[in-house]
Amino acid sequence: MSRQSVPRVFSRSGTGFAVLAAALLALTACGGPSGTPGAKTYTIAFISQGTSNSWAAQLDAVARKAAKADGVKLVYFNGQGDATKQLPEIDTAIAQKPDAIVLVPLGGAADTGPVERAMSQNIKVILCDSTITSQNYTSLVTPHAETAAVPLAQWLADKMNHQGNLLYIGGLPGNTTTITYDQGFNSVMQKYPNIHIINGGNANYSISTAKQLAATAIASGKTFTGAWGVGGEAVTGLMQALIDAKVSPAPPIGGAAATNGILRLAIENKMEVASLQFPPTSSQVCIDTAFKAVKGETVPKSVNISELPQYGPILPPLDKYYKPQFSDDMYVGTDSVLTVDELKALNLVK
Amino acid sequence: MKPLDRPEPGFHLSAFAASQNRDDREPRPVSGSSSPGNPVRAPGAVRLAHESVVSTWLRLPPTVRGYGLPIGASLLVAAVVAVVEPGFYRPANLHVVMQQYAVLGLVTLGQVLVLLVSGIDLSVGAVMNAALITIALMNHYNENLLLLSLVLCILIGAGVGVTNGLLVSLRNVPPFAATLGMTACVQGAILVYTKGIPAGNIPTALRPIALDGIGIVPFSLLICLAIGLMVIVFLSRGSYGRTIYAVGRSPEVARRVGISTTAVRVSAYMLCGVFAALAGIILSAYVGYVDPAIGGTYNLQSIAAAVVGGVSFIGGEGRPAGALIGALFLLTVLNVTTLSSLNPFTQLIVQGVVMLVAVSLFHLVKRSSIA
């Protein structure tokens, strides 16, 4: 660079140039993804479950925070809560040639092809919360039935004295999380032949559907000594149906992820509910795993998030877990990774 | 070709009114169905039996023929249910059925109006979601705004309906595309407003609408039936009903006789939106919890109920009472399959088969009536 081309402010003195150079060097040193000068900024495509429910919204918020902390560029793809809508998003993401893809699969079988295409193009693929029908991925971050659903199902079976009618409200058919929870539930219940499972139908992760199914089952006149719902929505619908039908005492209920609302309903109506502290913070583990993978570090093929300290069964008494300052939609434990301000931005603070 | 596509010279609305109900036409001789120009391949005995059934059917009064199938199907289902699942008739279960019927009935009534003007509304579910979100957010911290939130729900429903109607009528957007696009807009607006996390509260003061009532009959059902009665009367007795059928059968002819097809279509979509909002309010009261996907299955359920009840996709044909019976039929099937504790996958098959049989039967009987 000739001296004439140097901006005037710097041409008067070499001091300004030196300051700029030092500042640039400092910025490079601090802003790199791993703190290494000149390090590459990695791009991670986050193909989410999408704008479908509060779980997904919290999962997305945690993913964005984790990406910011790791210094990676996160490109967001919206699965819109539908496997068929998510598929083209995966293909679009692959076309952008990111360093890694973090995918929350909505259709285990449907997503297998695109994931294998991504792997063949040397894109690291981290499966988050749910799996596909192939082993051809980089890492799977998900709960395991043994550590997630089994303790809850065992608690419920014990509460039922291993006998009686159990009202079951299912999740979303084909969804791998539903399958995982069903496996855990069935592995326990098959030990107790005197527990008769009354299948109330699939709620498809909808509170209103769960309520309608449960209300119908309750109105049939059968006596239930226990109830099980796959997912927070199913459990909430079950509880609302029992409350509105004035079933007293309400049978013990087991189910999946605990929300603040489930705890509130249980405490206010003196119901016994066992749920799982299963905050949507798995996206943090997923992003961190993807970051390690793109840096060339070895990552485990399978990460069992239900063994992490943020996860675990929530059994009565529930008062110690309920946080009245947060809204019903907050999944128990989310406040361990998001600050109050971040929760407020998500409408999760009252 | 529909009868009114080629109007006679001097055709006017009263002439249209006189002929608006195709079932009112005198039945053609049954022998026509087996004439050389219209061959029937059945062998002699079977053919005679078929002709006898059709002949008996055609001798019935038009009103009986109009409602015959849905009522007959419902009675048949009622008899089958009494044998297969007697628990259905428990007062507690009937109460639940009535609670759920009030919602589906209202949405179906709106869908009928739109189907009658050759339209379809796939945004009713989104309007129901919007109603719930409006109630939940406006009554988050206190319930003083309950009445205002209910009025706003109705206005949102009407606004969505009017927009749908204008898109279909003035911009010639196919009803399917217009209402599907509107669904995306409404859902998008909900997401923007709630940031994907719909906090809020369903006021306890609202809940008696769905949970309480007279005996086992919930107030929500009384609301639904009152509105249903009004729709039946307006469509069968008033000039509004005649214009609805006229626009549905042949917009061109309707225009020629001085009917504002735009106004009629927009009003049908608007009423559909209002009824969907009302259904959303009642369902919110029933569920009692903030569920942003509350309207999930009602788009297709309302269309299915209307079709089972004899409402045609091509417009201008069908009755609201038939659709209400269709909704009852549909809900009975759903309820009984749930009560049966069948595997959910098997439940779906049973529901699907029963629906297909019902719709096929309806069209078979209808074709016989017209033959």
pLDDT tens-digit profile of B276-292?
999 999 999 998 888 87
Examine the pLDDT at B198 and tell me if it is beyond 90: no
Residues A162 and A234 in one domain: yes
* pLDDT confidence of residue A280: 83
> Do residues B52 and B34 lie in contact, with contact meaning Cβ atoms separated by under 8 Å?
no
Question: Do residues A175 and A284 share a domain?
Answer: no
**Any domain includes A131:** yes
Judge whether A201 is closer than 8 Å to chain B, CB to CB: yes
pLDDT in tens, B4-30: 333 333 334 444 444 444 444 333 333
**Same domain for A66 and A132?**
yes
A219 to chain B: nearest residue by CA?
B93
Same domain, A269 and A149: yes
The contacts of residue A332 (CB under 8 Å, 6+ apart) are A257, A258, A259, A260, A263, A275, A277, A278, A279, A314, A321
Report yes or no on A317 lying in a domain. Answer: no
Summarize pLDDT for A99-151 with one digit per residue, the tens. 999 999 887 777 888 899 999 999 999 999 878 888 899 999 988 777 778 99
Among A58, A170, A217, beta carbon nearest to B344: A170
Give per-residue pLDDT as tens, B70-104: 677 777 777 888 888 888 888 988 999 999 999 99
CATH of residue A191: 3.40.50.2300
Q: A133 to chain B, minimum CA–CA distance in Å? A: 21
What pLDDT is recorded for position B54?
Answer: 66
Domain edge (last residue) among A237, A262, A277? A277
| Number of residues in chain B | 371
Query: Same domain, yes or no, for A149 and A273?
Result: yes
Indicate whether A339 belongs to any domain. Answer: no
Q: Identify the closest residue of chain B to A260 by CA–CA distance.
A: B199
* Amino acid B68: pLDDT: 67
Q: Are A173 and B344 in contact (CB under 8 A)?
A: yes
On whether residue A123 sits in a domain, the answer given is: yes
Query: What mean pLDDT value characterizes chain B?
Result: 81
Q: Are residues A122 and A71 in the same domain?
A: yes
Distance of alpha carbon A158 from alpha carbon B82, whole angstroms:
36
Bigger pLDDT: B308 vs B265? B265
The answer to whether residue A206 neighbours chain B at the CB level (below 8 Å) is: yes
Domains of chain B, first to last: 69-79+97-370 (1.10.3470)
B292 touches chain A (CB under 8 A): yes
Same domain for A235 and A256? Answer: yes
Task: Find, in chain A, the residue whose alpha carbon is nearest to that of B99.
Answer: A212
Residue B117 confidence (pLDDT) above 90:
yes
Which pLDDT score, from 0 to 100, does residue A199 have?
Answer: 85
- Cβ distance A173 to B345 less than 8 Å, yes or no, reads yes
Structurally, how many domains does chain A consist of? 2
User: Is A316 part of the contact surface with chain B (CB cutoff 8 Å)?
Assistant: no
Of A57, A216, A243, nearest to B96 by CB-CB distance is A216
Nearest CA in chain A to B298: A209
Mean pLDDT of the region B208-237: 93
* Overall average pLDDT of the B119-145 stretch: 90
Residue A319 lies in a domain: no
What's the pLDDT score for residue B370?
54
3-state secondary structure (DSSP) of residue B4: helix
pTM for the model: 0.75
Per the structure, the complete domain to which residue A82 belongs is given by 43-143+280-308
Residues A117 and A202 both lie in one domain:
no
Mean pLDDT computed over B169-196? 88
**A166 and A195 Cβ atoms separated by less than 8 Å:** yes
Nearest CA to B103 among B354, B299, B298, B305? B298
- Looking at residue A27, what is its pLDDT? 43
Residues of chain A falling short of pLDDT 50: 1-35
A34 touches chain B (CB under 8 A): no
